[in-house]
Amino acid sequence: MVVIGFLKIVVVAAISLVLGLLVSRYVLAHASPFDRVRLGAWRLEAHAGSMEADPFTRARVARTGEIPLAVGEGLQWIARTDDAGRPLNAGCTYAVGPKAPEARYWTISVVTPDGFPIVNPAGRYGFRSSELLRSSNGDFTIIVSATPQPGNWLPVDAPGGFKLALRLYDAPLGATPAAMDPTSAPRVDKISCR
């Protein structure tokens, strides 16, 4: 009886350890679950750029070596899905636009799931607000696609999937991303798939 009781404890401890480590691995690969702000398809860790970052953000930043933008400098929003919630897929073509939240400058870039620019022959990793082709009313459309497109073409050739990064520099509401107007987020719409 004592042996069975002891075995039970060992099994419970082993399962707990494995489960705890698996959950840690998942949590540290994603934005902190307690500090997430949504804006359309985009997500942001509200306090990543300050000393008020929670332990999850701190652990992720220390582990990945990321150097976050301070809240006074800018905000980095990440989209892993389109507006319909489907994971971004390099086999599809997406339209991103037509508006972006107010900021002195912004960029929209394509990154690998771990946050690095994606190789492409054009050497084009993203667009700046200051270099885009726009329609007469200031609206824009960025086409994210593996095949060349007219206009603002952002090439993506990433078999493992990809993410979009929207970086706002000198945003007026820098300290309170939760107060941003959700309709000001660029839409991420799937146009077609190969």
Partner 1 sequence: MKASFVGTLAIPVVATAILAALVQLVVVILVPVVAERDAFARLKPLGEPNVTVLLPRASPTERLAPYADPVLAVSFCRFDLAAGPIRITAPEGRAFASLSMHTQAGQPFYALTDRAATQGVIEAVLATPEDIRALEAQDNEEDPSHDLRVTAPDREGFVMFRVFSEEPSLYARAEEQAKHLSCKAEPIPR
d(CA 6, CA 192): 58
Among 7, 10, 12, 133, binds partner 1 (CB under 8 A): 12
Residue 17 makes contact with partner 1 by CB under 8 A: yes
Closest separation between CB of residue 191 and partner 1, Å?
A: 25
Residue 155 makes contact with partner 1 by CB under 8 A: no
Q: Which two tokens stand for residue 2?
A: 């004592």
Closest residue by Cα to residue 89 from 81, 99, 97, 78:
81
| Contact in structure between 28 and 63 (CB atoms under 8 Å) | yes
Residue 24 makes contact with partner 1 by CB under 8 A: yes
| Contact in structure between 88 and 164 (CB atoms under 8 Å) | yes
Residue 102 makes contact with partner 1 by CB under 8 A: no
d(CA 76, CA 45): 8
Residue 29 makes contact with partner 1 by CB under 8 A: no
Closest separation between CB of residue 158 and partner 1, Å?
A: 10
Would you tell me how many other CB atoms lie within 10 Å of the CB of residue 151?
10
Nearer to partner 1, 14 or 191 (CB): 14
Nearer to partner 1, 70 or 191 (CB): 70
Q: Which two tokens stand for residue 192?
A: 């077609």
Among 7, 10, 21, 178, binds partner 1 (CB under 8 A): 21
Residue 176 makes contact with partner 1 by CB under 8 A: no
